[in-house]
Each structure stands twice: as C-alpha cells, then as structure tokens.
Amino acid sequence: MSFFKKIVFLLCVFLVAKGIAQTEETIVWRPNLKLNWSNFKDKAPINNRAAAITASGITYKYTTYFDKKKGNRFTYEVVALFYPNKSWYKPELCTDITLSHEQLHFDIAEIYARKMRLSLSKIKPSKHTRNQVKDIYTAINKELNAYQDLYDSETNYSRDIEKQLLWQTKVKKQLQLK
C-alpha cells in the first residue's frame, strides 16, 4: 500500500472512530463541577443491591509525527469522563452523602487521568510509542480500578460516614496537586 493510501486509510479509520465515540453522552471532569442526580440517567436494575453506580473512567488520544525542525513529536490528551447513560441511582436509598460518594468516584478518575498525563509526558517518541501508550493506559486503569475498590471498601460504599469524610479530604488534597 502506498504512503498516500495509508494516510487516507488512517484518516478514514480516525473519522469513523471519532463518529462512533461521539455518539455516547459524556461529561468531562472539571474543577468545581459537581454531579447531581439528574446526571444519572440509566434505569436502576431491580436485582442490584447498590444504591447508585457511577460509570466513569479515563480516555485518551495521541498523535506522533515528524517535524523537520524538531524531529519526532508526540502530543496527547487524557480526560476523565462520566457516562450519564451508564450511571444510575435509586432515589429511595440515596442521600446527599451517597451523591458525594459518587462524585468522589468521578474525582478519583481525574486523579488517574493526571497520573497518565504525567507518564505520557515522559515518553520519547519512537517506533515503540504505540505500545508504550497502550501499556501505560493498561497499568493506569488497573491502578484506578484497585483504588476505586479500596475507596468503596474503606467507606463501606458511603455507609461509614467518618471514613467517607476522610476520603473526601484525601481526594481533595490529591486534586490540588498538579
């Protein structure tokens, strides 16, 4: 396949992927953004004992290219996202404390988005960049999931109010760091 055909093919794949990715409603994490129950749009399953579920995570995109003056270049973007149509709550079981618990799940996703940005900032572009990015994303997601599980465990899913308040302070401090 010629170089031109490869570029056209990759451009088509990118445009199709971009179109698919944009069909799902998301909320990008921002400082001072607070979720409210109207953001949780999925229907709560009857057989699930949880009071609420926050679907959140991190996503990324990157580009590598050659610049005649600067050589190989690498740019990236990493964001923490909340997925309203995959998040739900049971109004009869939820309180303001439950909502603050769910907010922290989203905030924790941002902590790990920052960790991924830091890791990506250390990459020197090469023929191995794709695998490096993939490996970093896999490792960060594993850490993120473990931290989310630890948070739920230590707070007993927001039922231990004292621990919930400790986690709120802990996460707030982590988010103040760049």
Please give the C-alpha separations between residue 161 and each of 52, 97, 172, in angstroms, as whole numbers: 16, 8, 16
User: How does pLDDT run across 10-44, given as a tens digit for each residue?
Assistant: 344 444 444 445 579 999 999 999 999 999 999 99
Beta-strand runs (E) in 68-169:
71-82, 88-89
Mean residue pLDDT across the chain: 89
Using only C-alpha atoms, what is the Rg of the chain?
19
Q: Has residue 68 got a pLDDT over 50?
A: yes
User: How does pLDDT run across 99-110, given as a tens digit for each residue?
Assistant: 999 999 999 999
Please give the Cα distance from 7 to 177 (Å, whole number). Answer: 40
How remote is the C-alpha of 135 from its chain's centroid?
Answer: 16
pTM for this one?
0.85
Q: Has residue 64 got a pLDDT over 80?
A: yes
Predicted local distance difference test score (pLDDT) of residue 157: 96
The predicted model gives 105-132 an average pLDDT of: 96
